[in-house]
Amino acid sequence: MKKFGWLVLAGWLLSQCTAKESGNTGSSTPATDQVPDTLEFFPVTAFLQAQINELDSMPVTILQIAKVANKEDSTWISTQQLKPLLQPFTEDRIDKRNLVHLFRENRFNDQSTESVTLTYLPLFTPLPDTVQLRRWDVYVHPDNGQLKMVYISRQLNRNGTALTQQLIWKTGHWAKMVTAGAGKDTASSLQQEIKWIWGNAN
Q: Is residue 96 part of a domain?
A: yes
Cβ partners under 8 Å of residue 156, min gap 6: 88, 132, 162, 163, 165
Looking from the CA of 101 toward its CB, the CA atoms found within 13 Å total 3
127 assigned to some structural domain: yes
Contact assessment for residue 134 and residue 155, using Cβ atoms and an 8 Å cutoff: yes
pTM beyond 0.75: the answer is: yes
Per-residue pLDDT of the chain (202 residues; tens, 9 = 90+): 444 444 445 444 554 545 444 444 443 333 333 444 456 788 899 899 888 888 888 888 999 999 987 889 999 999 889 989 988 888 888 876 778 889 999 999 888 778 899 999 999 989 988 889 999 999 998 888 888 999 999 998 877 778 899 999 999 899 999 998 865 555 556 678 999 999 877 7
Question: Domain limits at 192?
Answer: 5-25+39-197
User: How many structural domains compose the chain?
Assistant: 1
Residue 202 within any structural domain of the chain: no
- Assess if residue 142 is contained within a domain: yes
Residue 32 maps to a domain: no
